[in-house]
Structure 1
Amino acid sequence: MTTPEEWSAQAPALDSIDRNIISVLAQDGRISMTALAEQVHISRAHCHARLQRLQDTGVITGFTVNVDPLKLGFGASAHVILKLRQHNWRALRQQLLDIPEVWHVTLTGGPMDVILLVRAKDTADLRRVVFDEIQPLS
């Protein structure tokens, strides 16, 4: 078992510039390298090298897009909590993620097993997804 001290020893050392780069990218993942370098007060080449190191060491694992569900036609959303009958969590997780209206799956501890973020075009569609697609799987 890995101890917290071992985790810390394995984590790459980050200084204030690295943390500033991460902070700026968290606000705008599409910022140009030039603008990023200006905001963290280093040269463009130095910024590029640091960003590459952050990616190579796994500190930055990717870049994401935030979308407006309403503009995609999803007018209703709900967190759905499930208690599972199945024991094959990985297969069930994939089945849930294959439902287009399921945006996020979280495994939990305690009396309930899973929390889903479900988005649908309206409440009738939300009800259909929950009762016709999700409930038979749980």
Structure 2
Amino acid sequence: MAKKKATAATLDDVSKAIIEQLQQDGRRSYGAIAKAVGLSEAAVRQRVQRLQDSGVMQIVAVTDPLELGFPRQAMVGIKVEGPMEPVADELATYEEIIYVVIAAGAYDLLVEVVCEDDDHLLDIISQRIRTIHGVIATETFMYLNLKKQTYSWGVR
């Protein structure tokens, strides 16, 4: 049986406060969070686990791809003929693709790609993305300079 995914409407103020604490510092201790939100450390630990299990949040190390040997980043707009979901599902399996979204507008899908070099990017676009059944066109937007990337947008 699939787990029910929590939504903003089902998150209480304490869970939202826990999320905000972790958005500010993902390494913040359960004890520090407990003091800030007025719960016991054990209760915070349980809530964090439930938030992770339900898919509301994940706690990960955010890295700089340039520093890890991936100097080429790009956004690829994809036009699809037929159902978009199977194409999006296939793209989501590619290790180099770190972001997949079904969109409205000029492109049906947008994906963010992190690569070792231009040849790697060319291979992903030409030999992998464009060969997926249903893909009819792509447009690549190469990243020249990343000015802002944030994960601390708060909760509603």
For normalisation by structure 1, the TM-score amounts to 0.71
Distance 1:72 1:94, change over 3 A: farther
In the alignment, residue 32 of structure 1 is paired with which amino acid? Answer: S
Secondary structure in structure 1 of the residue aligned to 2:28: coil
Secondary structure in structure 2 of the residue aligned to 1:130: helix
Distance 1:28 1:60, change over 3 A: farther
Greater CA drift, 112-121 or 68-77? 68-77
More helix per residue: 1 or 2? 1
> Distance between the aligned counterparts of 2:103 and 2:68, measured in 1?
28
Larger RCO, structures 1/2 (Cα 8 Å, 6+ apart): 2
> Distance between the aligned counterparts of 2:95 and 2:64, measured in 1?
16
Per the alignment, residue 124 of structure 2 pairs with: 129
Asked if 1:35 corresponds to 2:17, the answer is: no
Greater CA drift, 105-114 or 56-65? 56-65
In the alignment, residue 103 of structure 1 is paired with which amino acid? Answer: I
Asked if 1:108 corresponds to 2:106, the answer is: no
> In the alignment, is the contact (CA less than 8 A) between 2:96 and 2:113 conserved in 1?
yes
Per the alignment, residue 43 of structure 2 pairs with: 49
Instruction: Please tell me the root mean square deviation across aligned C-alpha atoms, in Å.
Output: 2.9
> In the alignment, is the contact (CA less than 8 A) between 2:99 and 2:112 conserved in 1?
yes
Per the alignment, residue 14 of structure 1 pairs with: 12
Count of residues in Structure 1 that have an aligned counterpart in Structure 2: 125
Per the alignment, residue 75 of structure 2 pairs with: 79
More strand per residue: 1 or 2? 2
Q: Runs of 5+ in structure 1 lacking a partner?
A: 1-7
Distance 1:60 1:14, change over 3 A: farther
Q: Deviations over 1:12-67 (max 9, x none)?
A: 3633x5443221111223321112223x1635x1x542563576588873323122
Q: Deviations over 1:70-119 (max 9, x none)?
A: 2332110100001112x243322222122221111110112320001011
> Distance between the aligned counterparts of 2:77 and 2:20, measured in 1?
32
In the alignment, residue 42 of structure 1 is paired with which amino acid? Answer: G
Distance 1:104 1:60, change over 3 A: closer
Secondary structure in structure 2 of the residue aligned to 1:63: coil
> Distance between the aligned counterparts of 2:55 and 2:123, measured in 1?
38
Per the alignment, residue 90 of structure 1 pairs with: 85
For normalisation by structure 2, the TM-score amounts to 0.64
